[in-house]
Amino acid sequence: MTRLNKSLKHYEVILTFCDTVQDILSVTLFFQYGVSTLIICVVMTGLALPSSIEFRAFLAMFLFTMTLRIFVPGFLGTQLSHESEELMIATYYSEWIPRSESFKRSFKLFRERIATPIVITGLKMFPLTLLTFVSIMKTAYSFFTLIRTVQEE
């Protein structure tokens, strides 16, 4: 029973920490993701234009950096959500059936608390996940294609 209570308290600490991170980084991540879409589009357009090899290398490195800048939070956000979902699954593999009624009540409370996966969002508008990363990359490429089409006409 003590171990379960420690787990409940530890999970509360994790949730508090995630709420703090959410409050601090929400606006920053929103603008970072929004601006990164435009920057990636502009850099891809610059790579498509004739220029020196040094400038192209600079743009390629910058493109890699901007991509990594939005990939890492998306990857970590996906990991956080996945691990919190795995916690719910892990509870069913524990030896809870032969336990006391007080343990079962605490266990039920714990399961209810972890039923919703932990998700960090950008300004409460989009989750930091790999799906969001892919969506941003698709949007940047769509803008790039639009710019290239307009340039060719």
Q: Is 76 exposed, middle or buried (0-12, 13-18, 19+ CB in 10 A)?
A: middle
Comparing CA positions, the residue from 96, 35, 36 lying closest to residue 64 is 36
pTM: predicted TM-score of the whole model, two decimal places: 0.84
The identity of residue 139, as a single letter, is T
pLDDT tier, 53 (very low <50, low <70, confident <90, very high otherwise): very high
* Burial per residue of 4-26, b for 16 or more beta-carbon CB atoms within 10 angstroms, e otherwise: beebbeebeeeeeeeeeebeebb
pLDDT tier, 88 (very low <50, low <70, confident <90, very high otherwise): confident
pLDDT in tens, 108-140: 888 888 888 899 998 888 999 999 999 999 999
The whole-number pLDDT of residue 1 equals 55
pLDDT in tens, 89-108: 888 888 888 888 888 888 88
